[in-house]
A and B are shown apart, each in its own frame.
Chain A
Amino acid sequence: MAGIVGYGAYVPSYRIKVEEIAKVWGDDPESISNGLVVNEKSVPASDEDTATIAVTAARNALQRAEIDPQNLGAVYVGSESHPYAVKPTATIVAEAIGATPELTAADLEFACKAGTAGMQAVMGEVDSGMIDYGLAIGADTSQGAPGDALEYTASAGGAAYIIGKKNTIADIETTYSFTTDTPDFYRREGQPYPSHGGRFTGDPAYYKHVFGAAKGLFEKTDSKPEDYDYAIFHQPNGKFYIRAARKLGFTPEQYKYGLLTPNIGNTYSGAVPLALSNVLDKAEPGDKIFIISYGSGAGSDGFTLTVNDRLKEIQELAPKTQDYIDDKHYVDYAVYAKYKGKIRMA
């Protein structure tokens, strides 16, 4: 069966605090922090974008995979902030890591779950024997409209997964997806910022699909929350994540390592991939992991994983997720606006 052979993370080092953003718009920072369960978010520098994040994460994944990049048969990059509307991020990555020319590549979009959708595609290609190894990346430099609630959480980061059948560090036993047409959050071509449905993004969107996929995954694997060591969910903010985890019956011990949003914001397509990389950095052989991603539009991809012995051999071969989270430098709103291209230049 297909499994993870190598994984790698990247989070930009700049941070902006909730108080700093709240100061500009006259919001009450405590209300925001407590309400959303978020303290600060990552900010990409002006020379960073989804492509650079994806490349760094991919290089880290290759370090851990210990394979020749020429053996990669596919590269998929899932994002909602691809640098180009037409011209794939995936080929930039493939070229940068030395995987070209014998491979297939494409970009994916499904809001925050494009990365996990890419993982499913690669799993299929590996399991069918079409390729030996494939690379799936979830990465974003997401935009929040100035003054909108999402500005407190829309951040940047990504993680990459090399999937194959040999020398896996974790086997992906099952995948189950739950998908409907639900327009909770969207951005038309050419619009700088996304639109969202306010409270419609809660019960009819996030929770419906996360719970739908979780229920299906429990049924498909005939398992219960107690059977897992770790649980990971999509995390637009800390509040949704914790509520989902608790309602499904998981304990803080199980879900705490998977929650990164309070310290780096919501990295959108990078969110569940980064949460998983953080958990893999700390996991032990034999650990079982339960994962539910979510992408607006809407859908959730569920996975169950069991960690193998090889994980211990390769955890240290690349920077850990926590290393990137801890490497931080604060900026104020003016520098943040400059880096995010929110200042109208001549």
Chain B
Amino acid sequence: MRDVAIIGVAQTKFGELWDTSFRELIAEAGLGAIKDSGISGDDIGAMYVGNMSSGLFVDQEHIASLISDHMGLNPVPCTRVEAACASGSLALRQGIITVASGYEDIVISAGVEKMTDVVDATPAIATASDQEWEAQQGATFPSLYAMIARRHMYEYGTTREQLAEVSVINHHNAQYNPYAQFPFEISTEKVLNSSKVADPLTLLDCSPVSDGAAAVVLCPAEDAHKYTDTPIYVKASAQSSDSIALHDRRDMTTLDATKVAAKKAYDMAGVTVKDIDVTEVHDCFSINGLLAVEDLGFTEKGNGGKVIEDGQTRIDGDFPINPSGGLKARGHPLGATGIAQACEISWQLRGDAGKRQVDGAEIGMTHNVGGTGGTATVHILSRDKN
């Protein structure tokens, strides 16, 4: 197995992109990443695309073919992968495995979601839960995460304000992100007073419905210098599964899939959590951002609220999290998020993150979750080959 590097990244603006179609989004991101890497289209060996639900959102399946066609890449093999909101990181992982194994040299991993062509995205998003035992029993995504939040508050005394702080910090960071859906600050009061969604979560605890796409170009690490002066090396790519239904989990307030994937990733990379300089986590709801801080090992279970409240996850804190603004403020086009996280970490490690730069970031991590934790992926990226 050989090492893999990211040599090009790109993402579209995330938001309600009324004038941009599904195929235009992925073409913009894909072609942007190709341009960023300096490769030619002819160099591409394969493409992987993460997308959760093009069928329900835009009545289109077989998007693998649509994408290779619309990007002018035919006859390059293209494969769609799906694990709900973790689809993007799955595409990244499959791309990495393909290059690492030697099967292909240059591979594109991308993610895309066009969510605003439907009036209500809730039913499509609910298909990430257990249809028979959760969705059809009346659960929606906000309600499932609300239950996690309630339990966490009950067991550990986590407060409403601590949850709100996740959104406040995300928005603060997003104001420096030109791709963000909501590049503006919000206050704790605004979060607490926004419309109730599923108690205790309010509107501003929840990531938005978004359109967007992102793409990265992968190549063997030993060839990266041919294309770029700032290759980003993949030190670990780990993925784990857990029960799809929340009620079947070992512990409602822990995403075991995150813990398993994180441990595998730290071992693969030969690092511990203390070595991670910057992280992009899956804050689909504020509570999940808090859980990530615990389950990735930044602090012990139950203490997530405290460290967030103390500012440890801010860009100038001990363990900066979501400098991009996260899912909440950067936006969350479901299949694109996992790749957008990799884009952000790449920019951070390249030193290209402008005003949201984490100083001296050398090792970064991405954390992407499917559903309420049925799938979790952790990637560790580094500026250094070794």
A residues within 8 Å of B by Cβ? 28, 31, 35, 196-200, 203-204
- Which of chain A's residues have a CB closer than 8 A to the CB of B16? 199, 203
Q: Mark B1-38, 1 if CB is under 8 A from A, else 0.
A: 00000000000000010110000000000000000000
Instruction: Give complex CA distance A197, B119 in Å.
Output: 5
- Which of chain B's residues have a CB closer than 8 A to the CB of A35? 195
- Which of chain A's residues have a CB closer than 8 A to the CB of B19? 204
Q: Is B190 an interface residue (CB 8 A)?
A: no
Instruction: Give complex CA distance A200, B119 in Å.
Output: 8
Instruction: Give complex CA distance A198, B209 in Å.
Output: 12
Instruction: Give complex CA distance A204, B195 in Å.
Output: 24
Q: Is B241 an interface residue (CB 8 A)?
A: no
Determine the residue in chain A with the shortest Cβ distance to B193: A34
Instruction: Give complex CA distance A181, B274 in Å.
Output: 56
Instruction: Give complex CA distance A28, B195 in Å.
Output: 9
Q: Is B299 an interface residue (CB 8 A)?
A: no
Is the Cβ of A31 less than 8 Å from the Cβ of B119?
A: no
When the two chains form the complex, which single residue of A28, A31, A196, A203 contacts B18, counting CB atoms closer than 8 Å?
A203
The total of Cβ contacts below 8 Å across the A-B interface reads 20
Give the residue among A196, A200, A203 with the most B Cβ atoms within 10 A: A200
Q: How far is the CB of B54 from chain A (nearest CB, A)?
A: 19
Is the Cβ of A196 less than 8 Å from the Cβ of B119?
A: yes
Instruction: Give complex CA distance A199, B117 in Å.
Output: 10
Is the Cβ of B116 less than 8 Å from the Cβ of A200?
A: yes
- Which of chain B's residues have a CB closer than 8 A to the CB of A196? 119
Q: Mark B98-118, 1 if CB is under 8 A from A, else 0.
A: 000000000000000000101
- Which of chain A's residues have a CB closer than 8 A to the CB of B116? 199-200
- Which of chain A's residues have a CB closer than 8 A to the CB of B209? 199
Q: How far is the CB of B332 from chain A (nearest CB, A)?
A: 15
Q: How far is the CB of A29 from chain B (nearest CB, A)?
A: 12
Query: 17 interchain pairs (CB within 8 A)?
Result: A28-B195, A28-B196, A31-B195, A31-B196, A196-B119, A197-B119, A198-B118, A198-B119, A198-B120, A199-B16, A199-B116, A200-B18, A200-B119, A203-B16, A203-B18, A204-B18, A204-B19
Q: How far is the CB of B386 from chain A (nearest CB, A)?
A: 49
Instruction: Give complex CA distance A199, B118 in Å.
Output: 9
Instruction: Give complex CA distance A199, B210 in Å.
Output: 12
Q: How far is the CB of B316 from chain A (nearest CB, A)?
A: 35
Q: How far is the CB of A208 from chain B (nearest CB, A)?
A: 9
Instruction: Give complex CA distance A203, B16 in Å.
Output: 10
Give the residue among B18, B19, B120, B195 with the most A Cβ atoms within 10 A: B18
Given contacts A35-B195, A200-B18, A200-B116, 17 further A-B contacts (CB under 8 A): A28-B195, A28-B196, A31-B195, A31-B196, A196-B119, A197-B119, A198-B118, A198-B119, A198-B120, A199-B16, A199-B116, A199-B209, A200-B119, A203-B16, A203-B18, A204-B18, A204-B19
- Which of chain A's residues have a CB closer than 8 A to the CB of B18? 200, 203-204
Q: Which of B345-359 contact A (CB under 8 A)?
A: none
- Which of chain A's residues have a CB closer than 8 A to the CB of B119? 196-198, 200
Q: How far is the CB of A38 from chain B (nearest CB, A)?
A: 15
Instruction: Give complex CA distance A28, B203 in Å.
Output: 13
Instruction: Give complex CA distance A35, B196 in Å.
Output: 12
Determine the residue in chain A with the shortest Cβ distance to B120: A198
Q: Mark B71-111, 1 if CB is under 8 A from A, else 0.
A: 00000000000000000000000000000000000000000
- Which of chain B's residues have a CB closer than 8 A to the CB of A203? 16, 18
- Which of chain A's residues have a CB closer than 8 A to the CB of B196? 28, 31
Q: How far is the CB of B151 from chain A (nearest CB, A)?
A: 23
User: Which 3 A-B residue pairs are closest in the complex by CB-CB distance?
Assistant: A198-B119, A204-B18, A31-B195
Instruction: Give complex CA distance A239, B196 in Å.
Output: 19
- Which of chain A's residues have a CB closer than 8 A to the CB of B118? 198
Determine the residue in chain A with the shortest Cβ distance to B121: A198
Instruction: Give complex CA distance A204, B20 in Å.
Output: 12
Instruction: Give complex CA distance A28, B196 in Å.
Output: 8
Determine the residue in chain A with the shortest Cβ distance to B203: A31
Instruction: Give complex CA distance A301, B195 in Å.
Output: 34
- Which of chain B's residues have a CB closer than 8 A to the CB of A197? 119
Q: How far is the CB of B260 from chain A (nearest CB, A)?
A: 38
Determine the residue in chain A with the shortest Cβ distance to B209: A199
Determine the residue in chain B with the shortest Cβ distance to A201: B119
Q: How far is the CB of A195 from chain B (nearest CB, A)?
A: 8
Instruction: Give complex CA distance A198, B266 in Å.
Output: 44
Q: How far is the CB of A123 from chain B (nearest CB, A)?
A: 33
Q: Mark B188-199, 1 if CB is under 8 A from A, else 0.
A: 000000011000
Q: How far is the CB of A239 from chain B (nearest CB, A)?
A: 13
Q: How far is the CB of A237 from chain B (nearest CB, A)?
A: 15
Instruction: Give complex CA distance A327, B19 in Å.
Output: 45
Q: How far is the CB of B123 from chain A (nearest CB, A)?
A: 13
Instruction: Give complex CA distance A196, B118 in Å.
Output: 10
Instruction: Give complex CA distance A200, B17 in Å.
Output: 10
